[in-house]
Amino acid sequence: MQPVNHLLAQTGTTIFTVMSALAVRHGAINLGQGFPDTEGPADIIQAAADALQDNRNQYPPLTGVPELRQAVAAANARFYGLNIDPDGGVVVTSGATEAITACLMALINPGDEVILIEPLYDTYLPVVKMLGGVPVLIRLAPPDWALPRAALTAAFSPRTKLLLLNSPMNPCGKVFTADELGFIAGLLVRHDAYAVCDEVYEHLTFAPARHIPLMTLPGMAERCLRIGSAGKTFSLTGWKVGYISGPNALCAVVAKAHQNLTFTTAPNLQRAVALGLQKPDAYFAGLADELRAKRDILATGLAALGLPVLPTDGSYFLTTDISALGFPGDDLAFCQSITAQARVAAIPVSAFYAADPPKNFVRFAFCKQDAVLAEALARLNAWMQSAKTLTAAV
Ligand code: PMP
Ligand code: GLN
């Protein structure tokens, strides 16, 4: 038999699926894969149900239903003062995952260099490689995850096509500052490069941190493709509705990628998300406030257990440093052990590196009900009290 695609053959099953399966096997509380354990807003769900009944269930337009494209453009103006054309500057996709691939397909020619920042979300690297892009990796250093400016400057070359920027950042909860974004923007202009901006956690930032799209900086509107996710913004991760905003010239090419990937996205979900994006400011502020309280519950609880917690300004996640625990294994072994023995699942941060990762950081999701977080902390406490359980799971 002929060999299958060698890059996909080498790609393992995503760590989120691996840890969720392990959590189910052990009846563990799943603080691994990032999804809320409560439903999103009832009115949006009702709108999606109603929209199934009104005879608009055939193929929606390629770039998205007009209601959603208009709502995405209006949200860009309302939250960031961005001027996006609803007819030419928005592409609706089946989740941000598709959006990332579509944007990369639109920009990369084989041999182009793509700057990626570790720790990095797990779809970036395989997709860049599949497209023939050459990944150039730089690395943020814990505990503060500051941008290494000299390394970033050195990563640019005449072959640089784009930088992929994730802010707020998964897994470390970093929100890039105005100063850091200004530095990045300067390099993009100097090297005539693009940015694909994965901003799925745009509304999940914790004051005083504030999300600033790179696209809002001078000279950036023509160079950036900005990606949002209804899954994150409306706590409906299974819906897989994403949206790309950008200059018309780039979005026209992104639309060609989208037409070859999925062509379109379920119309009822698009129309419900359009309503969601028109919710009052209080909805978006409330979402962030609720999550911040959950972050504090988990951070305080983990710290009390002797697990140092790194600062998190946005996203669903916080990371802890396990090196002081004396655990006889790496982050993956730790996550396997707590899933099997404490019955609390988490994600090893080493999964967010291409090679040679740090092995002492573990990511916990806090987008869970307060009682669930409390139970998870109680289970971890009981496990840590029992010294004999501090052994790697087989
Ligand atoms: N980017 C990041 C950084 C993420 O954490 C996720 C996780 N869901 C995605 C993209 C994918 O978003 P979606 O579920 O809308 O495809
Ligand atoms: N983004 C989610 C996380 O980081 C996972 C999404 C997925 O499982 N594909 O946990």
pLDDT, position 189: 98
Which numbered atom of ligand 2 lies nearest the CA of 123? 9
pLDDT, position 276: 98
**Residues with pLDDT less than 50, the chain:** 388, 392-394
Alpha-carbon Rg for the chain in angstroms: 21
pLDDT, position 10: 86
pLDDT, position 46: 98
pLDDT, position 394: 40
Q: For the segment 166-220, what is each residue's pLDDT rounded down to a tens digit?
A: 999 999 999 999 999 999 999 999 999 999 999 999 999 999 999 999 999 999 9
List, in sequence order, the alpha helices (H) in 164-243.
178-190, 230-233
DSSP class of residue 229?
E
**229 C-beta closer than 6 A to ligand 2:** no
pLDDT, position 391: 52
Q: Which fold has domain 42-280?
A: Aspartate Aminotransferase; domain 2 (3.40.640)
Architecture per CATH, domain 6-38+282-385, reads as Alpha-Beta Complex (3.90)
C-alpha 105 – ligand 2 centre gap (Å): 21
The mean predicted confidence, pLDDT, of the chain is 96
**Candidate of 165, 197, 200 to mutate for ligand 1, largest count of ligand atoms within 8 Å of Cβ:** 200
**Candidate of 232, 265, 315, 318 to mutate for ligand 1, largest count of ligand atoms within 8 Å of Cβ:** 232
Contact in structure between 79 and 283 (CB atoms under 8 Å): no
C-alpha 222 – ligand 1 centre gap (Å): 24
C-alpha 326 – ligand 1 centre gap (Å): 33
Q: What is the torsion angle, in degrees rounded to the nearest 10, for the CA atoms of residue 292, residue 309, residue 173 and residue 155?
A: 160
pLDDT, position 91: 98
pLDDT, position 296: 98
* Domain boundaries for CATH 3.40.640.10 within the chain: 42-280
Which numbered atom of ligand 1 lies nearest the CA of 100? 10
Could you tell me the pTM of the whole model?
0.97
Nearest CA to ligand 2 atom 8: 16
**283 C-beta closer than 6 A to ligand 2:** no
pLDDT, position 379: 98
* Domain boundaries for CATH 3.90.1150.10 within the chain: 6-38+282-385
191 three-state secondary structure: coil
Select from 242, 251, 363 the least CA-distant residue to 298.
363
Select from 222, 184, 162, 231 the least CA-distant residue to 203.
231
Ligand number nearest to the C-alpha of 96: 1
347-353 long-range contacts, CB within 8 A, separation 24+: 347/15, 347/16, 347/19, 347/32, 347/33, 347/171, 348/15, 349/119, 349/171, 349/172, 349/319, 351/15, 351/122, 352/118, 352/119, 352/120, 352/121, 352/122, 352/170, 352/171, 353/118, 353/119, 353/120, 353/139
